Amino acid sequence: MSLSAITAVNVQVPSSANAPIIADFAEHAIRVAHLMRRDAGRLREQEWATPGVYTLLSDDGTHQVYIGKSTNLRSRLQHHKHKNAQVPGWSRAVLVKRDTTHGFTSADIGYLEGRLSAQFEVFPGITVVKGKTDGDSTLPRHMQMSLDALLPSVLAAARLAGIDVFWEDDVEPEPIGIKRTAIRGTVTSLIAEGLLNVGAELHCARGGALGFGTVAADGQIVVQGVGYKAPSLAAAISLGATSSTGFGGWDMWHVGSLSGPSLSDLRGQLAGR
């Protein structure tokens, strides 16, 4: 997933070497704790006995990560410290909570857990030990959209922990046998110009297979819990392909239904503005 050009963060590094490092992402009101396994008991109860999601990291060469959720992050991390069947070799943890008055709900963290698990699975060199994979379908679409918008900050927190979240999704490949249009623009451009709404449903079809995606606030197309910057790759994945070669995502994706305007149609309108 591509992060914003700059993700602003305030990092608090205590003088005590075994106290958690705290990072505040003001844009999305996210507070993150980075700590070693041995220091699980040093989380402040009044601050971290709260709902959130977490990642357990191993440093034993297996590159395993465990994505989990809890209505009480402090208690759950202490449980993992002593009973660690999911990731026996975990040594570090990243805890994420909402730094707002009401915080996350149980439905929020259920959705985020599934979303993060799916997203981490596409990063090369990482083995995801899944706690849950289906997210939470009880949330209304507008709430899912608001949680999707938090992903850049959550992934930035993962980068601070040394997790490589780079993957090949920044370049839109030249589709074989499909003429590339001279009109330029991005999905973000369409959103900014009011031609495409955040949360819009996208549909595509090929060889009898049907694909589905939704538009995220950062211009990515979310397919099966993963955000894709390149429309062609998003279309290929939605249709069960493993490569975007030969896919022209801008022409294949239609808004609202298969009979709706294509992303190429909308991008064409940019030329007249």
Instruction: Give me the pLDDT at residue 237, please.
Output: 94
Query: Is residue 231 pLDDT above 90, yes or no?
Result: yes
Query: Is residue 256 pLDDT above 80, yes or no?
Result: yes
On average, the pLDDT of the chain sits at: 87
Instruction: Give me the pLDDT at residue 185, please.
Output: 81
Q: Which of 5-9, 122-126, 162-166, 224-228 has the lowest mean pLDDT?
A: 5-9
- Average pLDDT of span 138-163: 90
Of residues 172 and 217, more confidently modeled: 217
Instruction: Give me the pLDDT at residue 1, please.
Output: 43
With a pLDDT cut of 70, the percent of the chain lying above it is 86
Query: Is residue 176 pLDDT above 80, yes or no?
Result: no
Query: What does the pLDDT look like over 105-138, one tens digit per residue?
Result: 999 999 999 999 999 998 988 989 865 555 566 7
- Average pLDDT of span 191-214: 95
pTM: 0.83
- Average pLDDT of span 132-149: 77
Instruction: Give me the pLDDT at residue 131, please.
Output: 59
Q: How does residue 48 score in pLDDT terms, banded at 50, 70 and 90? A: very high
Instruction: Give me the pLDDT at residue 243, please.
Output: 80
Q: How does residue 179 score in pLDDT terms, banded at 50, 70 and 90? A: low
Instruction: Give me the pLDDT at residue 3, please.
Output: 44
Q: Show me where the domains of the chain are located.
A: 10-160, 187-270
Query: What does the pLDDT look like over 14-41, one tens digit per residue?
Result: 999 999 999 999 989 999 999 999 999 9
For every residue of the chain, which 3-state class applies, written as one string? CCCCCCCCCEEECCCCCCCCEEEEEHHHCEEEEEEEHHHHHHCCHHHHCCCEEEEEEECCCCCEEEEEEECCHHHHHHHHHHCCCCCCCEEEEEEEEECCCCCCCHHHHHHHHHHHHHHHHCCCCCEEEECCCCCCCCCCHHHHHHHHCCHHHHHHHHHHCCCCCCCCCCCCCCCCCCCCCCCCCCHHHHHHCCCCCCCCEEEEEECCEEEEEEECCCCCEEECCEEECCHHHHHHHHCCCCCCCCCCHHHHCEECCCCCCEHHHHHHHHCCC
With a pLDDT cut of 90, the percent of the chain lying above it is 62
Instruction: Give me the pLDDT at residue 4, please.
Output: 46
